[in-house]
Amino acid sequence: MAVTFTPLTNLSPMAAPAPSSSVLIVGNFLSKSRGNRSVCEDLAERLTNYGWQVSTTSHWPGKMRRLADMLSTVWRTRNNYWLAQVDLYSGPAFYWAVAVCTLLRMLHKPYILTLHGGSLPEFGRRRPWAMRKLLRSAAAVTAPSLYLFEAMREFRADIQVLPNAIALAHYPFLLRDSAQPRLVWIRAFHDIYHPTLAVRVLAQLQETFPDIQLTMAGPDKGDGSLQATQALARQLGVEQRIQFLGQVPKAEIARWINSGDVFLNTSSVDNCPVTVIEAMACGACVVTTAVGGIPYLCNHGADAMLSPPGDVDAMVESVAQVLGQPALAAALSRNARSRVELLDWSAILPRWTSLLRRVANQGS
């Protein structure tokens, strides 16, 4: 389905697209139904703002209906776009991309594949033939991190790194020159993001920092992780120290990040999480597990504190260092902001438009 977006401002000017510049973006456009705003939604909005004709699919929350809508849109709007950009995930969504790309090839439409998810490399190793065939069928393949670039280039060598971008102006910077014991966790409640680890960290820190508080925000993915987190908080006697916000609108993310000084990222599988980038942009002191693409995004002791996945003691020690050493907190805060300034849309969007134009010209 085609989407009309509100024009954006405060972006660097670039050459206007040709009248024939038209693209179909295939991904999860679920911000209205589930509250999750994906990178593809931001990309569609930015391209539209610069005059591109953008069609998108799909906004349907149900998996089968979403797949049906993707295929229907590819066919029904075939005269409205020159090329497509398709998000590629692991699991069942991989086969959705296969179906979409098969139809695009039948229609002689070139497409760009964009890799997502920290578990995609392992999925590819279990299905190397299918992964290699799909990636090599694309006009171009992009990855949002050096992690995925390195982990996936066995399937295709010329993957291009196009980082996840943010609108930096939407994230007010607060220098944490003396971090207070206010922790923030923003992610979906799902087992791969290990939300119970944040509760265990809080419980161990409460004796040393009697005023410590934790804010947890994110949608319930329905695998029991939210209930397990709440039950553990009661069991450890810290339920009064935790505020559960539920799903937070994208426009309020920065406000909630800036309500605390230490941002916890506890995931056991990850790639290049936008929430961590957002926290760094706000100047929060990021304490995160060193999984997937995180070590490519963050430098331990410089702009974040990294710990092994699932290691409660290591994460507790990192938080304690941040809270007890004002000079460390200030350095992490300042360096984090500097690091992600290169990820503003004003820097990333021109790279997208250049790639899209090249693929469109090749397919014309």
Res 175: pLDDT = 98
- Count of residues for the chain? 364
Res 6: pLDDT = 31
* Topology (CATH) of 168-342: Rossmann fold (3.40.50)
Amino acid type, 9: T
Burial of 252 (C-beta count, 10 Å sphere; 0-12/13-18/19+): exposed
Res 62: pLDDT = 87
Res 117: pLDDT = 87
pLDDT in tens, the chain (364 residues): 333 333 333 333 344 444 458 999 999 998 776 666 788 999 999 999 989 999 999 999 888 999 999 999 999 999 999 999 999 999 999 999 999 999 999 999 999 999 998 899 999 999 999 999 999 999 999 999 999 999 999 999 999 999 999 999 999 999 999 999 999 999 999 999 999 999 999 999 999 999 999 999 999 999 999 999 999 999 999 999 999 999 998 899 999 999 999 999 999 999 889 999 999 999 999 999 999 999 999 999 999 999 999 999 999 999 999 999 999 999 999 999 999 999 999 999 999 999 999 999 886 5
Measured CA distances, 122 to 53, 126, 268, 341 (Å): 36, 6, 14, 31
Res 118: pLDDT = 87
C-alpha Rg value of the chain to the nearest Å: 21
Beta carbons of 287 and 267 less than 8 angstroms apart? no
Strand partners, 130: none
Beta carbons of 271 and 148 less than 8 angstroms apart? yes
Beta carbons of 316 and 204 less than 8 angstroms apart? yes
CATH class of this structure's domain 22-165+344-363: alpha beta
CB atoms under 10 Å from CB of 136, counted, come to: 12
Measured CA distances, 264 to 140, 201, 202 (Å): 35, 10, 10
Element (H, E) at 186: strand 182-186
Domain ranges of the chain: 22-165+344-363, 168-342
Nearest to 30, CA basis, from 41, 22, 19, 14: 41
Computed from CA positions of residues 256, 259, 265, 266, in that sequence, does the dihedral angle turn out positive or negative? negative
Cα–Cα distance, 155 to 131 (Å, whole number): 7
Beta carbons of 58 and 117 less than 8 angstroms apart? no
Res 8: pLDDT = 33
Res 9: pLDDT = 34
Q: How many CA atoms lie within 13 A of 6 on its CB side?
A: 1
Interhelix angle 326-340/274-282, rounded to 10 degrees, is 120
* Residue 81 DSSP SS3: coil
| DSSP output for 15-36 | PPPPTT-EEEEES---HHHHSP
Strand partners, 307: 289
Residues 6 or more apart whose Cβ sits within 8 Å of residue 256 = 184, 186, 215, 217, 245, 248
CB atoms under 10 Å from CB of 170, counted, come to: 14
Beta carbons of 334 and 283 less than 8 angstroms apart? yes
Same fold, 22-165+344-363 and 168-342: yes
